[in-house]
Amino acid sequence: MYKDILLILPSRTDEAGQEFLVRGIEVARLMEAHVSGLVVERSVPLPVSIRRPYTTGMEEELMRRQQESHGAANAELAAFEAEAKRAGLPHEGRLMTVSEGNYDAVVERARLRSLVVAPFIDDDEGHADLVQALIFGAGRPVLVLPAGGDKAFRPARVVVAWDNERAATRAIGDAMPLLRHAKEVRIVTVLSDKQATAGATGPELVAHLARCGAHATLCEVERGRRSIGEALAEEAEGADLLVMGAFGHSRIRDFFLGGATRHMLAGLNVPTLLSH
């Protein structure tokens, strides 16, 4: 299991933020792990203006917004401490202020953990950039939890996306602690030009997983008129966890704007473990 988990906590104290905090703590409790709660406070960006210095009113507004953000971050940190203590987990909490688009310090901290758990916030591009930076830069698996989850994280039924590529291979290796304990593991290959060789390697992958203590079945589906992301989404419907490689070539926005990964994250309703 993953014994050292980093829980990414955006500085928001609304209902969605509290819901994710509870579910993130549940993941750590399931793993019987030490959990580090990292509240990421993004600094309020300065407005673009040709006037220097800013007017008194503008400076006061910026200060007010920064104070509100800092207050929300501190409240989130206190909520984490209380929830982790209630769950009886060994834990530590920290608040980190970062500038928009610069998440290097968060990524460096993630490299020293076994697993990163982060929420999916579909209306926050800054947070999407943070999750992207973690997936591409941390070298650790990132478990993305969707909003509105109505059940505890219990990965009994797992779907694994397989295309015989490096990212998918990495994802399977990273997910092995979960695959060994799952009741049902389905290896799904979407047949298309890119996956022409994936179907041939599927049976050998199933045999490999069996030797490692994870018993899986192989499922090959035709892509048809669907995108690969749409096909995977349909196959993962009703599953407790989707495991997939993060498809993309570099840390750029098209990671979220195209391909199977973009489709899965845009309509994420299943906890998804991503590796790159």
Q: Tell me the pLDDT tens digit for each residue of 162-208.
A: 999 999 999 999 999 999 999 999 999 998 755 556 668 889 999 99
| pLDDT reading at 258 higher than 50 | no
Secondary structure element (H or E) that encloses residue 82, with its range: helix 56-86
| pLDDT reading at 136 higher than 70 | yes
pLDDT at 46: 58
Domain boundaries, the chain: 4-145, 157-275
| pLDDT reading at 266 higher than 90 | no
pLDDT at 252: 43
| pLDDT reading at 226 higher than 70 | yes
Q: Which two tokens stand for residue 133?
A: 């930076």
Q: Measured in whole angstroms, how far is the alpha carbon of residue 164 from the centre of its chain?
A: 22
pLDDT at 256: 43
Q: Do domains 4-145 and 157-275 have the same CATH topology?
A: yes
Q: For residue 223, give Cα distances in angstroms to 50, 96, 234, 265.
A: 53, 43, 11, 19
For 41-79, write each residue's pLDDT tens digit: 887 665 555 455 556 676 777 777 778 888 889 999 999
User: Whose structure tokens read 């309020």?
Assistant: 44
Cα gap 166→245, rounded to integer Å: 8
Percent pLDDT > 90 in the chain is 53
Q: What CATH architecture does domain 4-145 belong to?
A: 3-Layer(aba) Sandwich (3.40)
Collapsed DSSP state (helix, strand, coil) of residue 94: strand
The residues, any chain, with a CB within 8 Å of residue 46's CB and separated by 6 or more, are 54, 62
Q: What CATH architecture does domain 157-275 belong to?
A: 3-Layer(aba) Sandwich (3.40)
